[in-house]
């Protein structure tokens, strides 16, 4: 739905309670929400408490999906925090008898025309509370500009794009058909990353998921149409042994995009696409062994498929099986 809401309370002790529609599932979105609140108010992160996602506090939430969660909820949170900050500045301006534009809050200190006033964050909040200033705000954000007409399949469905490149090296065992991803070197467009550690973790996870998607996660059905790969014993997913031996991630130097939260671009799903490189690298390795191999698209490229493309002739496979058995006997008599 490309919309989100946030609820922010500033308590009289100076602490800040934040509720959004973002669901934390290990992707680090709560960390980014905390950063948004701390950055807008310019306070220590320890002052901010992230509440669990609850529709009694934030209703009509959009799904936490499609890489948009941090952008949507972060923008809504930023609007709510900014509105509260303006009220605090107005309250301080009345106290110091100056225009609100002369007041700023930096590192939990109140400044007047760039000079520290000696008033701290807790004192400012307490003063606003005693002046009966509302210290609660609800923020709503709907992504502007985007539009799409399904009838003619044209429009502007995305606020911005993410760019990147991956160089993937694989090694194929031409006896067994197995393969290993030796290295992945990525240049990724983070924009102006809010949290490089979180974003790099998302890239690593998306990369491995993408490799699994293109090389092992095969959906199979039996002749009667029943799903034959409905369990983890039959549907293969990546594990720690599927992780490339080397992963290098370099940020692309870009100015970011104002549609992204603090110009920090979404980094959930885009890295999944880097797994495509593993598929084509394996194809090139197969073609190096079997020059007659016709490039085609048949994902995922499982070891069984690789073996069949390395030895497309049934007689070749039979001879391979005999040679492989003989080799195994020599190794383990």
- Output the domain CATH number for residue 319: 3.30.365.10
Same domain, 220 and 168: yes
Domain boundary, last residue among 123, 148, 173:
148
Nearest-angstrom CA–CA distance, 172 and 163:
29
Same domain, 23 and 169: no
- State the pTM of this model: 0.88
**Does the residue 332 lie in any domain?**
no
**How far, in Å, are 36, 136, 194, 262 from residue 40 at the CA level?**
6, 15, 13, 10
**Does the residue 155 lie in any domain?**
no
**pLDDT at 311 (0 to 100):** 86
pLDDT in tens, 177-205: 999 999 999 999 999 999 999 999 999 99
Closest Cα partner for 190 from 70, 43, 31? 70
- Pair of tokens at residue 277: 């490189």
Domain boundary, last residue among 88, 123, 148:
148
**pLDDT at 66 (0 to 100):** 81
Nearest-angstrom CA–CA distance, 167 and 187:
9
Contact (Cβ atoms closer than 8 angstroms) between residue 34 and residue 165: no
**Does the residue 156 lie in any domain?**
no
Closest Cα partner for 189 from 281, 274, 267, 90? 267
Nearest-angstrom CA–CA distance, 28 and 188:
18
Same domain, 189 and 229: yes
Same domain, 88 and 170: no
**Does the residue 198 lie in any domain?**
yes
Same domain, 178 and 75: no
Region 54-83: what's the mean pLDDT? 94
Same domain, 135 and 20: yes
Nearest-angstrom CA–CA distance, 184 and 248:
6
Nearest-angstrom CA–CA distance, 148 and 64:
21
- Pair of tokens at residue 272: 């999944």
**pLDDT at 303 (0 to 100):** 92
| Catalytic, out of 24, 153, 269, 328 | 269
Answer whether the bond into residue 300 is a cis peptide, omega within 30°: yes
Region 236-263: what's the mean pLDDT? 94
Closest Cα partner for 29 from 65, 60, 58, 69? 69
pLDDT band (50, 70, 90) for residue 326? low
**pLDDT at 106 (0 to 100):** 97
Same domain, 308 and 215: yes
**Does the residue 154 lie in any domain?**
no
**Does the residue 55 lie in any domain?**
yes
Q: Token match 């690789």: residue? A: 306
**Does the residue 158 lie in any domain?**
no
**Structural domains in the chain (count):** 2
Looking at every residue in the chain, the average pLDDT score rounds to: 93
Domain boundary, last residue among 116, 148, 180:
148
Same domain, 169 and 109: no
Region 1-20: what's the mean pLDDT? 96
Same domain, 135 and 249: no
pLDDT in tens, 85-132: 999 999 999 999 999 999 999 999 999 999 999 999 999 999 999 999
State the DSSP code for 191: B
Same domain, 130 and 169: no
Q: Please give the residue range of the domain that contains residue 265.
A: 164-327
**pLDDT at 320 (0 to 100):** 67
Same domain, 114 and 207: no
pLDDT at 212 over 90: yes
**Does the residue 304 lie in any domain?**
yes
**pLDDT at 96 (0 to 100):** 97
Is 216 exposed, middle or buried, given 0-12, 13-18 or 19+ CB atoms closer than 10 A? middle
Q: Can 269 be counted among the known catalytic residues?
A: yes
Nearest-angstrom CA–CA distance, 280 and 80:
47
Region 26-35: what's the mean pLDDT? 95
Same domain, 323 and 190: yes
pLDDT at 328 over 80: no
Is 293 exposed, middle or buried, given 0-12, 13-18 or 19+ CB atoms closer than 10 A? middle
Nearest-angstrom CA–CA distance, 37 and 85:
10
- Pair of tokens at residue 136: 């609660």
147: three-class secondary structure by DSSP: strand
Q: Where are the beta strands (DSSP E) in 131-275?
A: 136-142, 147-149, 154-156, 164-172, 179-188, 246-251
């Amino acid at each position: 739905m490309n919309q989100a809401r946030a609820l922010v309370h500033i308590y009289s002790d100076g602490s800040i309670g934040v509720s959004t529609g973002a669901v934390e599932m290990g992707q680090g979105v709560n960390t980014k929400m905390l950063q948004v609140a701390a950055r807008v108010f310019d306070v220590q992160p320890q002052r901010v408490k992230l509440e669990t996602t609850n529709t009694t506090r934030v209703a009509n939430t959009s799904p936490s999906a499609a890489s948009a969660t941090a952008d949507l909820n972060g923008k809504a949170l930023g609007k709510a925090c900014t509105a509260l900050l303006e009220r605090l500045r107005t309250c301080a301006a009345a106290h110091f008898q100056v225009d609100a534009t002369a007041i700023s809050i930096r590192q939990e200190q109140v400044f007047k025309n760039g000079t520290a006033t000696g008033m701290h964050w807790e004192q400012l909040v307490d003063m606003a509370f005693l002046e009966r200033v509302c210290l609660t705000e609800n923020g709503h954000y709907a992504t502007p500009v985007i539009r799409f007409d399904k009838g003619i399949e044209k429009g502007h469905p995305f606020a911005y794009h993410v760019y990147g490149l991956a160089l993937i090296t694989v090694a194929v065992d031409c006896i067994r058909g197995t393969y290993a991803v030796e290295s992945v070197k990525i240049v990724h467009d983070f924009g102006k990353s809010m949290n490089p550690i979180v974003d790099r973790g998302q890239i690593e996870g998306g990369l491995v998921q993408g490799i699994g998607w293109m090389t092992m996660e095969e959906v199979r059905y039996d002749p009667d149409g029943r799903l034959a790969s409905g369990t983890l014993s039959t549907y293969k997913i990546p594990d720690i042994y599927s992780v490339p031996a080397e992963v290098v991630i370099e940020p692309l130097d870009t100015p970011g995009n104002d549609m992204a939260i603090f110009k920090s671009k979404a980094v959930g799903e885009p890295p999944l696409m880097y797994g495509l490189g593993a598929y084509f690298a394996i194809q090139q390795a197969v073609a190096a062994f079997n020059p007659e191999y016709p490039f085609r698209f048949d994902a995922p490229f499982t070891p069984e498929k690789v073996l069949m493309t390395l030895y497309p002739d049934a007689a070749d496979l039979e001879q391979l099986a005999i040679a492989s058995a003989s080799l195994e006997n020599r190794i383990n008599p």
